[in-house]
Amino acid sequence: MPTAPARPMVKQILTFAVVGVVNTLTYYLLYLLFLVRLPYLAAHVLAFLISMVGSFFLNARFTYRIRPTWRKFLLFPLTNATNFVITTAGVYVIVDVLHAGSRFAPLLASAAAIPVTFVVSRMIMLPKVDTA
């Protein structure tokens, strides 16, 4: 049975993953919507930016239960940068090193990125705790 401090962390990780799924669906639906009127790259960037803002507020409210601040909002894109680096490296390793194929490589790499992205997100969103 998990210890008391571990339970909130597990709940945060699960909530973070659910917010990630909601964020991905939001991005994709916005992308399709914008694609009707915009070139694909503009649709991608706009959908990405809007879904990232939504992800920030969903994570603040549901994952970490904190009050959003401008500082956290401006640092939050670092979580997306972290995710991008890890998923890109993961796709490369899966496809070019392991020769496992490219069809599902992004999904596998994205799943592998969740723990690291969660840690970066947690560092940005939660206040520093004094251990002394």
Q: What is the pLDDT of residue 78?
A: 92
Give the C-alpha distances (Å, rounded to integers) separating 49 from 52, 56, 80, 126: 5, 11, 10, 22
Q: What is the mean pLDDT of residues 10-38?
A: 92
Q: What is the pLDDT of residue 24?
A: 87
pLDDT over 90 at 102, yes or no: no
Q: What is the largest CA-CA distance in the chain?
A: 56
pTM here is: 0.80
Give the C-alpha distances (Å, rounded to integers) separating 19 from 16, 27, 39, 62, 73: 5, 12, 27, 8, 16
Give the C-alpha distances (Å, rounded to integers) separating 123 from 35, 44, 49, 90, 132: 35, 27, 21, 23, 18
Question: Taking the CB of residue 30, how many other CB atoms lie within 10 A of it?
Answer: 19
Q: How confident is the model at residue 5 (pLDDT cuts 50, 70, 90)?
A: low
